[in-house]
Amino acid sequence: MRTKFILIFLIFFFISINCWNPFAPQEGEVQEMNPISLKDPLNVLNRIVLSYQNRDIDLYRSTLDSANFVFVFDPKDEGLEEYLEQLGITDFTWGYTEEYLSTKSFFESMEEKNIVIIPVFSGGYEQSYGDTLIVIVRLYNFEPPVIEGEIIEGTVHFWVKKCSDDLWRIIGWYDHVR
């Protein structure tokens, strides 16, 4: 009897240490059960917030149009020009790959430090251009600040396009810092 109990306990133990954790999905596996559907263009912002909250690069990546995405930095952002020049970027823009790698590194750094930094979007408006393009303008800041003691805030213009799979994704991200 005791041998059976030990055997059952060991089987349960080995099964339980290999269980799937829905709160820590593996990279490359965006969970389809996510309640924030990209069938609504405004949910793009909700997904960005959720991806930061969970430090989930795949959820973040799902908001970007991999074929057409461009991030446009604000040339008035102090110290940015020098940083971009070190990366070989001279026109204050980068594409999907640079955005993905930068955000992935940021999420990993946040996880190492065991902190959560969440973008807060507020105010603003939307401007539609037909049935497949919308510009979403929002004020933003980060809670807590990305750099201790320094509040990063500004206005962002998201150009969001309805893609061939009927999901909305960001094609242009124009950042204006204050």
pLDDT band, very low/low/confident/very high, at 16 (cuts 50, 70, 90): very low
pLDDT tens profile 75-105: 888 777 887 888 788 788 999 999 999 999 9
Identify the helix (H) or strand (E) that includes residue 66. none
Please check whether residue 160 is in contact with residue 134, taking contact to mean a CB–CB distance below 8 angstroms. Answer: yes
* CA separation for the pair 43, 168 (Å, rounded): 9
The three-point CA angle 53-78-125 to 5° equals: 55
* CA separation for the pair 95, 105 (Å, rounded): 16
User: For residue 9, is pLDDT > 80?
Assistant: no
Please check whether residue 73 is in contact with residue 175, taking contact to mean a CB–CB distance below 8 angstroms. Answer: yes
User: What pLDDT does residue 17 have?
Assistant: 41
3-state secondary structure of 81: helix
Q: What ranges do the domains of the chain cover? A: 38-177
Question: What CATH class has 38-177?
Answer: alpha beta
